[in-house]
C-alpha cells in the first residue's frame, strides 16, 4: 500500500493504534448483524479539506438556524408547501396531521432545535454546496468529536521526530460537540424547571431510541454528559413509550416510570420504518401533545424536508422575509439548482447530472442519474409531487485510506461536511443559539449514497489547508 504521509509507522501499524483508541475511547458502533461493540469505520488519516469552504459552512450556520426556526413557526408556510405533498406521501401525511392537531401547543412551549447542515465541496469553485438540512436526530454529533480526538492522537503518536504535527497548527479544527450539545439540553431543561417550578431532581430527559440501534454509543456520550450535570436520562422506544407514558390532559405533563419528562430527544421517529404499527403513531402523538421540550417537534421535522430546501431555492423572496439581503445572498451561494419533479421532467428523462430526492432522512432513499427515468415512469402525479429534483454536485475527490471492520482500503474518496447547531427558544425569545461542532463523513468516490449507518461512509476529520494546496490534492 502506498504511503500518503511521512508516518514512522506503516498503515497496518497505524491501524492497530486506531483500533486501540476506538475501543478504549468509545469511538464504536454496535452493528445489528453481530450485536457486539466494534470500532466505528474511520479514515486512517485526516482528509484534506479547503479551509475556505469549512469557514464558509460555519459562517452560514447561524443564518440557517434563524431561517428554519422562523419557518417552523410560520403556519401558512407549512400549510402551503407541506400540505400538498402530504396528499401523495402517507408518512408525511401522518406527520402533517399530528402537526395540525398540536401546533397550538408550540406557542406555549420551550423548543430545543437541533440542526446539521451537510455540504460537499464543488471541485471547480471549492465552494461548499448544501446537500441537505437535517432538523431531527442529527446523528454522530458525539462520535465526530471522538474522531477528531482519534486523529489528534494518531498525529502525535505516529509522526517521526522533528516533523511538525498537523494538530500543532490550526489544521485539525477543534471539535467540542459533546459538551456544546449537552449545554443546549441543560439550558432547555433548566428553563423548563424554572417555567413550571420544578428542580432537576424532579425531571428526566427522554431519548426516543430505535429498538435495534447500531449507533448507540454516539447517543450514550451525550446522555452521559447530560447525566454528569445531575439530570436523569432514560431511553425508550416508541413502542415502550406507548405502553408506559402517562399524559395529563389538563396540564400536558408527561410522566414515564414516575419521572416528569422535561425534554424528548428524537433519535428515532424520522423514518416510516420506525412506525411498525398504530402503537408507535400513538406514542408520537402523545409526545407532541405534551408540554415537554421536543428536540425536534413535528413542525421542525416537516420544515427540514427536501421540499422546503427546494422552495427556498425556487422562491428567493421567502428567505428575504426572514434574513437581510446580504445574508440571504451569502446563504444562496451554497445552493444547487433544485425544482419540483413535475417541473423538471426533461432533466429527469435524461437523468445524468441529477439526483431525485423523496422527503426522507437516514440515507439510502435517493435515486441517481441513469436510474431516474425508470423510477419516474412508475410514479403517479400524487407521488411525483413528493419528490424533488436536485442538480448533482460535482464533488472534489482526493486520495485517502478507509478502515472498516479491520480492512484497509486506499483510493479516491469524497467527503461530506456537516455543521451542527442548537437553538433553545420560546416563540420569538432565543435563549441559546450556537454552532456546536462539525462532522466529516467520507466514502469511496464511486458511491452514490452516503451514511455511516448504512455501511457506505466512514467517520473522518478535516485536514484544513489553503485552496491552492487543496487543488494539488484533487484527483480524477
What's the rounded mean pLDDT across residues 269-276? 94
How confident is the prediction for the chain on average, in pLDDT? 93
Q: What's the rounded Cα separation, in Å, for the pair 241 and 244? A: 5
**Across residues 179-185, what is the average pLDDT?**
98
pLDDT for position 46: 96
pLDDT number for residue 161: 64
H helical segments located in 203-254: 216-227, 238-244
Whether residue 323 has pLDDT greater than 80 = yes
For residues 380-386, average pLDDT: 87
Residue 436 CB partners (closer than 8 Å, separation 6+): 141, 176, 177, 180, 181, 184, 420, 421, 422
Query: Average pLDDT of 181-210?
Result: 96
Say what the pTM is: 0.95
Bigger pLDDT: 107 vs 25? 25
Output the pLDDT for position 9: 84
Note the pLDDT of residue 164.
Answer: 63
Interhelix angle for 325-332 vs 61-72, to 10°?
Answer: 110
Q: In the prediction, which pLDDT does 77 show?
A: 97
C-alpha 171/C-alpha 180 separation (Å) is: 21
Compute the average pLDDT of residues 327-350: 95
- pLDDT given at position 448: 82
pLDDT at 165: 62
pLDDT of residue 180: 98
Residue 264 has pLDDT above 60, yes or no: yes
Give the pLDDT band of residue 170 (cuts 50, 70, 90): low
pLDDT tens-digit profile of 392-450? 999 999 999 999 999 999 999 999 999 999 999 998 899 999 999 999 999 999 988 77
- Specify the pLDDT at position 381: 86
Report for 27-31, 140-144, 452-456: range of highest mean pLDDT: 140-144
Average pLDDT over residues 93-99: 97
**pLDDT given at position 167:** 57
The Cα–Cα gap between 399 and 48 comes to 9
Residue 140 pLDDT exceeds 90? yes
Mean pLDDT value of segment 326-341: 97
Distances (CA, A) of 144 to 29, 152, 313, 428: 13, 13, 29, 31
How large is the average pLDDT for residues 262-284?
Answer: 96
Question: In which region does residue 217 sit, left (phi positive, over 0), alpha (psi from -120 to 50) or beta (all else)?
Answer: alpha
DSSP conformation letters of 279-348: HHHHHHHHHHTSSSEEET-HHHHHHTSHHHHHHHHH-HHHHHTTS-HHHHHHHHTTPPPEEEGGGGHHHH
- What per-residue confidence (pLDDT) applies to 4? 57
CA separation (Å) from 233 to 37, 208, 455?
22, 11, 29
Share of the chain above pLDDT 70, in %: 96
Mean pLDDT within 171-185? 97
pLDDT at 470: 96
Q: What is the pLDDT of residue 415?
A: 98
pLDDT confidence of residue 163: 60
Judged by DSSP in three states, 119 sits in strand
For position 336, what pLDDT does the model report?
97
Handedness of CA 285, 288, 290, 294 (dihedral sign): positive
453 has pLDDT over 90: no
Amino acid at each position: 500500500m502506498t504511503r500518503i504521509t511521512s508516518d514512522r509507522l506503516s498503515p497496518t501499524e497505524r491501524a492497530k493504534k486506531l483500533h486501540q483508541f476506538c475501543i478504549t475511547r468509545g469511538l464504536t458502533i454496535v452493528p445489528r448483524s453481530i450485536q457486539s461493540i466494534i470500532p466505528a469505520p474511520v479514515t486512517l488519516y485526516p482528509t484534506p479539506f479547503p479551509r475556505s469552504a469549512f469557514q464558509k459552512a460555519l459562517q452560514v450556520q447561524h443564518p440557517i438556524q434563524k431561517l428554519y426556526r422562523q419557518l417552523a413557526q410560520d403556519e401558512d408556510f407549512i400549510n402551503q408547501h407541506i400540505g400538498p405533498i402530504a396528499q401523495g406521501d402517507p408518512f408525511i401525511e401522518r406527520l402533517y396531521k399530528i402537526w395540525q392537531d398540536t401546533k397550538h401547543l408550540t406557542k406555549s412551549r420551550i423548543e430545543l432545535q437541533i440542526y446539521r447542515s451537510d455540504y460537499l465541496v464543488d471541485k471547480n469553485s471549492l465552494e461548499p454546496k448544501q446537500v441537505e438540512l437535517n432538523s431531527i436526530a442529527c446523528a454522530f454529533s458525539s462520535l465526530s468529536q471522538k474522531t477528531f480526538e482519534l486523529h489528534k492522537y494518531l498525529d502525535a503518536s505516529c509522526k517521526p521526530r522533528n516533523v511538525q504535527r498537523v494538530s500543532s497548527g490550526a489544521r485539525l479544527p477543534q471539535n467540542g460537540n459533546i459538551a456544546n450539545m449537552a449545554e443546549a439540553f441543560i439550558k432547555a431543561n433548566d428553563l423548563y424547571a424554572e417555567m413550571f417550578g420544578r428542580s432537576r431532581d424532579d425531571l428526566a430527559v427522554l431519548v426516543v431510541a430505535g429498538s435495534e440501534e447500531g449507533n448507540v454509543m454516539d447517543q450514550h456520550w451525550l446522555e452521559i454528559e447530560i447525566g454528569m450535570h445531575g439530570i436523569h436520562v432514560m431511553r425508550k422506544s416508541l413502542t415502550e413509550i406507548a405502553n408506559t407514558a402517562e399524559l395529563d390532559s389538563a396540564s400536558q405533563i408527561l410522566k414515564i416510570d414516575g419521572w416528569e419528562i422535561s425534554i424528548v430527544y428524537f433519535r428515532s421517529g424520522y423514518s416510516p420504518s420506525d412506525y411498525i404499527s398504530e402503537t408507535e403513531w400513538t406514542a408520537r402523538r402523545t409526545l407532541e401533545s405534551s408540554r415537554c421540550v421536543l428536540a425536534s417537534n413535528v413542525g421542525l421535522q416537516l420544515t427540514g424536508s427536501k421540499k422546503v430546501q427546494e422552495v427556498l431555492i425556487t422562491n428567493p423572496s421567502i428567505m428575504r422575509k426572514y434574513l437581510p439581503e446580504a445574508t440571504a445572498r451569502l446563504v444562496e451561494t451554497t445552493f444547487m439548482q433544485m425544482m419540483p419533479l413535475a417541473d423538471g421532467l426533461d432533466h429527469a428523462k435524461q437523468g445524468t447530472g441529477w439526483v431525485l430526492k423523496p422527503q426522507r432522512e437516514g440515507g439510502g432513499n435517493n435515486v441517481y442519474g441513469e436510474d431516474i427515468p425508470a423510477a419516474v415512469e412508475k410514479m403517479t402525479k400524487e407521488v411525483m409531487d413528493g419528490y424533488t429534483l436536485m442538480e448533482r454536485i460535482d464533488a472534489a475527490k482526493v486520495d485517502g485510506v478507509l478502515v472498516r471492520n479491520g480492512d484497509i482500503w486506499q483510493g479516491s474518496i469524497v467527503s461530506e461536511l456537516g455543521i451542527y447547531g442548537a437553538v433553545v427558544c420560546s416563540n420569538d425569545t432565543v435563549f441559546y443559539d450556537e454552532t456546536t461542532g462539525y462532522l466529516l463523513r467520507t466514502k469511496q468516490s464511486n458511491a452514490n449514497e452516503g451514511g455511516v449507518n448504512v455501511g457506505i461512509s466512514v467517520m473522518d476529520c478535516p485536514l484544513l489547508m489553503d485552496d491552492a494546496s487543496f487543488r494539488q490534492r484533487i484527483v480524477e
